[in-house]
Chains A and B, each alone.
Chain A
Amino acid sequence: MLSAIAHTTLATVAMAGGGDGSHGLPAGEPFGFQVPIAPVVDEQSFALAAWMIWLPVISAVLCGIYAALGVKSRLPAWTTVAALAGSFVIAAITVSKLDFAKPVVVHLFDWIDLSWSSGSGTADDKWHGLRANFALYLDGLSAYWILFVTFLGTMIAFYASEYMEEDKGTGYCRFFAGVSIFLFAMTALVLGENLIMLYLGWEGVGLASYLLIGYYYKKPAAVAAAKKAFIMNRIGDLGLALGIYLIWLEYGSLEYGALFQALQAGDTGAGQYDGWAATLIPWCLMLGAFGKSAQFPLYVWLPDAMEGPTPVSALIHAATMVTAGIYLIARTMPFFLMNKALGGHALEAVAWIGGLTALLAATIAMAQYDIKRVMAYSTVSQLGYMFMGLGLATSFGACYHVLTHAFFKALLFLCCGAVMHGFGGQLDLRKLGGIRRVPGWGVVCWTMLIGSLWLSGVPGSAGYFSKDEILSQAFITEGAGFRLLGWIGIITAGLTAYYTFRVWFRVFTGPTHYKPDEAHGHAGHDDDHGADHDFHPHAPGLRINLVLTILSLGALWLAVGYFVGDVWGTQTWIKNAIENSSAGTGLQLMPAGEHPTLLGFDPHTAMYFISGTFGLVGLAIAWWLHCANRKAADDLRGWFNGRAWIAWLPRAMEHKWYVDEIYIATIRFPLWIAGQALYMFDRIFVDGIGVNGTARLPKIAASLFQPLYNGKLQGYATSMAGGLALVIAWIVWVWMRGSV
């Protein structure tokens, strides 16, 4: 019954449209996902694809063997780089053969196959079993994702082969084994043919993240950060696990092909169980995505995760793993669209939480001094943009931003890592300056400038195009306050430009000064540079420079490619890939000229000018305050601090809006109190009265008689005679006389 209603609703939306706008969807637009086609099982043409997932596994095993053998050379690095490069090449070959309109399933081996009824396959008999094969699902989304994951993995592993040089030996093997495990898990996550495989990869990347954040396990901060990341991710993973369970409960299958076909047919999953689960599923998945992708309120682990080695920050915590949440929502977009069709607000929640997280993280990033933390908050902020894009139903914008962000943020992190590596672990932008003029730092300087420009979204950069896709969509898609959200995003873009160039101008321009980090020697990372006065930075080597150059070229290419496609009016390859996968919402394919307007123009066009202006203004302010006239920055700070009504603002931003403290006060402290209370209960009642009290009774009884046993012969004789007297007394008084 419900199914029928939902089907009708869907059909209404999809075909007739409906000018009432009750679902907040643009009237008359084609709605729904673009993959009604059943996946083709093809193991012949895509037999090679299996090696995408096996090569990292082999690499991880080999690194473990190297560690056991005590290999002290660069062998683990080359093994990993070779394996990942192999994965990338295979991915490229596979994608080149793939027709995005025809998803392909490559079956590797039977994994989970449970069945408990005949399984006639009718609608009433969907729950006859649970099947999750170890198989790959190749469509536009996964192909797109696996390409940049393997490419960046290769690049960053190559970079790390130089960066981690000091730890050659067991630590080197451990690091590259972790990277290989991560790539395996990420591949399983992206390429998995069902939600169980996605979950396997999801937990696998969490494990790799934990292992690599805690790489410097002798450093308490790193251990704490690793635990924090793992625990925060638990909360999100609970949501994902519940979501997967509910999906199975509602649809009887976890395989993408079957699920998408059922959803395409308008199955709300409400046939057998209560329909609310169909609307609950997106919320559960959303929680999982927010945990993994560091969105409010589960974002606090990501800045702390910068305690790991910088290549890890670049690969896992900027480019790939944190985008798993985007991938999850993009992959399960049909559920969100179903939710929307049923009148739910899951997509709006995704958009709003993403937008607000972007603003929040950007404000925090403005006031941080640790350049890696600035980049970390910037990652949170950019991930917020992506979620905003997903929520605004522009999967293309979100996924394109994932790609551009992956390139320029990896680039920025690797530049920060190079600076940290060369300057004795120094990350405080107040203690670095004018590095541009230090010999050997040119490549780092100019590639980081490219990264910064791209992150700032100055006109013509890749970040500019991908961000505009999202921001302009805010003025197109109808939804709860989406236009306000668009303006928030635009302001955030200005802030982004400011804080990005704050870092760049502070570190690379101005008078040259630097000193190493005093505490850094304990991290087990460096170095023989000794005290400040004879400290000499060592410039990055060939491999680091090469990787930075390749990444900046990639970033440039992304911009050029889009620009060319946009100018020629053709759909880009990326748009084609995304819109033909399950992430497609159809909105991107709508013809121009039918949008609502922004300031009297088409939003796409208007946004080029608006966001470009904001980016340039932010850049200019940063230039003025941090390059041209640094005294003005001090004056401004003094102006803020001197006025009570505004002095809290920079302080709160510097202290990350006290979110960690609020968590401690609202969650950790009550839990701590409850734990202490239970602990005291255990100590006093269970242990104290129950266990020790019972044990103390014989002890008390014994202490009454203990003085008798003092080792003296006559003491024992006394107690013996006393006992004898009592026995006789009992005989006389009780037995013989009958009473005392």
Chain B
Amino acid sequence: MTPSILYIACVVGAIGLYLIMRPHRKATRIVGTIAGAGAVAFIMVKVLEGLAADAAVPILEVVFGLAAIAGAARMVTHPRPVFAAIYFVVVVVSSAGMFLLMDAEFMAFSLIIVYAGAILITYLFVLMLAQDATSTAGEALYDRIPREPLAALVVGFVLLAVLSDAFLLVDGGVRPDAPGMTPSLSSVEEDRWMVLDGLPIQLEETVAEILATDSTAAAEFTIERIDGRAIRFDGTHASVDVKIADESRNLVLPVSAMPTNAQLVGWSLVATFPVSLEVAGVILLMAMFGAVVLARRQIDLGEDELRVAAGMTPLLEDEESEFAGGSS
């Protein structure tokens, strides 16, 4: 694939999105949908053509990706805000699917819960609160007519062109099989086992579980630590030195004892990014305060009342203030 093909596909996609945006033109919407979907599909096919012969075809990623793109396109073009919100749910679910495919099951489900469950419901509530009273059909004029679509499309798709160029073409694109791009599996495994080293209770439970299958072993044991580290990793297997009744034994840990994805995320969160975690908490707290303040009932003050509220002396006498406007 050459850059020109990619750029032409971007242009076609932009034209497709433009056609979908045209209000009340079903035919053009169909043409636009075909053009946009064709462009995306064409690029995806081109990407897959470049795969190694023995590599598995990522069918599910393609399916979820197309669903997400379709939902996104429909979301930004649908004239009815509620439907747009619903289409965003499609995007969220598809994204969650892609998260799952990429071994991020914790984030996939929290995405569903937080986005689809909480944020989107908030949006829907606000949409209900602020629905335009003049649009009885549920379609306000300003929802149907896009604002300067050409400029927006040019900007957006130039960005898309350079982004996809960077992802797919520059130096062969983003390639995990390129030298140095992906760490070796053993080092990844070592990192994971080391996380278990930081979880002593779990380690003890794991060891107790292993020892429980061995009737010869006594129930009392201590895990030996050298330089504070208990787990030894020889490149393929992880083992623990355990002292049972003054007798040292080397226990090889099973793969199932390796920390799970959620555990890794949690460990990373508290061990690697503790300050960021605190900051995130402060952000949420402040957002809550802000939302509470904004949602309070607003009071319109008169000019003199504003002066008083600002600490200045009022200009008018009490009986005059009735005529000076400003009611609470």
Contact = CB atoms under 8 A, between A and B. Distances in A.
Is any CB of A less than 8 Å from a CB of B in the complex?
yes
B155 A714 contact: no
B59 interface: no
B162 interface: yes
A729 interface: yes
Nearest to A708: B151
Contacts of A728: 159, 162-163, 166
A724 B165 CA distance: 15
Contacts of B154: 722
Contact of B170 (A714, A718, A726, A732): A732
Nearest to B170: A736
Residue with the greatest number of chain A CB neighbours at <10 A, chosen from B159, B162, B170:
B162
B170 A737 contact: yes
Interface in B153-209: 154-156, 158-159, 161-163, 165-166, 170-171
B162 to A, nearest CB: 4
B165 A732 contact: yes
Interface in A702-740: 714-715, 718, 721-722, 724-726, 728-729, 731-733, 736-737
A52 B170 CA distance: 103
A408 B130 CA distance: 104
B151 A718 contact: yes
A721 B147 CA distance: 15
Residue with the greatest number of chain B CB neighbours at <10 A, chosen from A714, A729, A731:
A729
Interface string B98-114: 00000000000000000
B158 A732 contact: no
Given A728-B163, A732-B165, A722 B147 contact: no
A91 B53 CA distance: 130
B316 interface: no
Contacts of A736: 166, 170-171
A721 B166 contact: no
A667 B303 CA distance: 70
A31 B162 CA distance: 107
Contact of A718 (B155, B163, B165, B166): B155
Contacts of A714: 147-148, 152
Contacts of B161: 729
B156 A733 contact: no
A729 B152 contact: no
Contact of A729 (B147, B148, B158): B158
Given A732-B170, A736-B170, A736-B171, A718 B152 contact: yes
Contacts of A733: 162, 165
A721 B165 contact: no
Given A718-B148, A736-B171, A725 B166 contact: no
A725 B155 contact: yes
Chain A: interface secondary structure?
helix
A722 B162 contact: no
Nearest to A728: B162
A621 B159 CA distance: 106
Contacts of B155: 718, 721-722, 725
B162 A729 contact: yes
A733 B169 CA distance: 11
A731 B154 CA distance: 18
B159 A724 contact: yes
Contact of A732 (B152, B156, B162): B162
B105 to A, nearest CB: 32
Nearest to B166: A732
A721 B156 contact: yes
A715 B155 CA distance: 12
B142 to A, nearest CB: 12
Interface in A423-463: none
A725 B159 contact: yes
Nearest to A714: B147
Interface string B132-155: 000000000000000110011011
Contacts of B147: 714
Contacts of B165: 732-733
A728 B164 CA distance: 11
Interface in A386-426: none
B225 to A, nearest CB: 47
Contacts of B148: 714-715, 718
Contact of B158 (A715, A722, A731, A737): A722
Contacts of A721: 155-156, 159
A244 B219 CA distance: 131
Contacts of B159: 721, 724-725, 728
A507 B159 CA distance: 99
A721 B166 CA distance: 17
Nearest to A733: B162
Nearest to B160: A725
Contacts of B170: 732, 736-737
A736 B147 CA distance: 34
A722 B163 CA distance: 13
A707 to B, nearest CB: 10
Contacts of A725: 155, 158-159, 162
Residue with the greatest number of chain A CB neighbours at <10 A, chosen from B156, B161, B170:
B170
A729 B148 CA distance: 23
Interface string A129-158: 000000000000000000000000000000
A221 B148 CA distance: 67
A731 B162 CA distance: 9
Contacts of B166: 728, 731-732, 736
A52 to B, nearest CB: 73
Nearest to B163: A728
Residue with the greatest number of chain B CB neighbours at <10 A, chosen from A714, A725, A726, A736:
A725
A733 B161 CA distance: 11
A729 B151 CA distance: 17
A714 B170 CA distance: 31
Interface string A651-675: 0000000000000000000000000
A731 B165 CA distance: 11
Contacts of A737: 170
Given A714-B152, A728-B163, A737-B170, 19 more contacts: A715-B148, A718-B148, A718-B151, A718-B152, A721-B156, A721-B159, A722-B155, A722-B158, A725-B158, A725-B159, A726-B158, A728-B159, A731-B162, A732-B162, A732-B165, A732-B166, A733-B162, A736-B166, A736-B170
14 contacts: A715-B148, A718-B155, A721-B156, A721-B159, A722-B155, A722-B158, A724-B159, A725-B159, A725-B162, A726-B158, A728-B162, A729-B162, A732-B170, A733-B162
- List the 5 closest pairs (A to B, CB-CB), nearest first: A725-B159, A725-B158, A729-B162, A722-B155, A736-B170
